[in-house]
A = this chain, B = another copy of it.
Amino acid sequence: MTARINNRVTLRDVAGALGMDKSTVSNALSGKGNVSAKTRARITAVARELGYEPNPLAQRLATGHRNETICLFSGVLDTGITTDKVLLIQQALAEWELEAPIYACGKLSREPGRTQMAQIRQLRRQQPRAILCASQLVDISVYTELEAYQRDGGLVISYDTPSPLDCDQVIFDREDNTYQAARHLLLQGHRRIAIGLSRLIWQPTYSEGDTQQQRLRGFFRALEEFGILPLPEWQFRHGSYERGGEEMARQFLSLAPAERPTGICIINDHVALAFMAEVIRAGVRIPQDLSVIGHDNQPIAAYCPVPLTSMTQPTERIANTVVELLMDRIRGGGADTVPQRITISSELVQRLSVSPPIPG
């Protein structure tokens, strides 16, 4: 009736069956100690027969070594690309025969902050060897826990957006990303350019990691190079990805046609799809009246009303780099090596949603 673990075959059971001592069995099975080949054969045979499996709890307690498990901590999993990155990292880990459970909460979670704290605490209690952390949507308070985890000897590798932690980081360069997008529109001849920015329901406060600020900086930098002053009414703010496209479309359509931008950078392809569907419904022609650039180059980009030009996010490269850094740390044991920051930028995939502006 209790939750006691039933019927587990222990080392002592095996030893008892053989009339030997635990230590002999342990030595034989781990291949370490001084055991003759003959006895070892006998022992392994009996152990297999009895279905002996060492209790990992006891093992870890005895060895004092931390778990060799790796964990993925991804704050919030939202549509598409975030999940992709997590899964690609997992796949890259599989090459090393490593399996990593995912700690995350849903995009609609009411209290992501609280959930994340609970998760990170549980994570620390598990004492994994390393935590791979998608910093993008991680609550600021989580970093305190991660720091404590580091002090305990845990390994943290951060990816996606810069993290305040003193750890290896793989950073996806959102500033450059948006800079390139805006620049592409500018090079096509557009001078009236808008950007869609996510007004997050739940806002992380570590400033360097603020993705919307990063995007805005890149946007401004591009405009500046062309000597253009950004207009605040061309910064569209939207909430969740689910409704973001609609919201932006409303804001766009509320402008008088003559005052509308002729090009727009949108946070991702899902939002872009919804945005396009709405403005097309209102009679706007793409790309004749409005050029649209999406982000992340998701599968649906090809199936938008007009095939969508989009900035890629090189997810595989990000994932592989994360795992490389991890393995370097684990094997090299380079505990004294200075943490690195590796920046990864993106490329433009051209489809049909961008053209030079067509007057009239």
Footprint of B on A, CB under 8 Å?
Answer: 1-8, 55-58, 60-61, 64-66, 69, 71, 77, 83-84, 87-88, 90-91, 94, 97, 99, 101-111, 115, 118-119, 122, 125-127, 129, 151-153, 242, 245, 270, 273-274, 277, 299-300, 302-303, 305, 333, 335
Contact = CB atoms under 8 A, between A and B. Distances in A.
Contacts of A125: 56
Contact of A57 (B57, B300, B305): B57
B99 A122 contact: yes
Contact of A105 (B90, B103, B305): B90
A127 B67 CA distance: 14
Given A8-B152, A57-B57, A333-B1, A115 B99 contact: yes
A161 B335 CA distance: 47
Contacts of A302: 274, 277
30 contacts: A2-B65, A3-B65, A3-B66, A4-B65, A4-B153, A5-B65, A5-B127, A5-B153, A6-B153, A7-B151, A56-B127, A77-B87, A84-B106, A91-B106, A91-B108, A94-B118, A99-B103, A99-B118, A99-B122, A101-B101, A101-B103, A102-B102, A102-B103, A102-B104, A242-B299, A270-B299, A274-B302, A277-B302, A277-B303, A305-B305
Contacts of A273: 300, 303
A84 B108 CA distance: 10
A199 B245 CA distance: 33
Contacts of A101: 71, 101-103
Contacts of A152: 5-8
Copies of this chain present: 2
Closest 10 CB pairs of A and B: A87-B106, A101-B101, A102-B102, A277-B303, A57-B61, A56-B125, A99-B119, A274-B303, A4-B64, A3-B65
A301 B56 CA distance: 47
A5 B124 CA distance: 12
A105 B83 CA distance: 11
A270 B333 CA distance: 45
Nearest to A95: B110
Contact of A91 (B58, B105, B300, B333): B105
B122 A69 contact: yes
Contact of A245 (B84, B97, B303): B303
A147 to B, nearest CB: 14
Contacts of A83: 77, 83
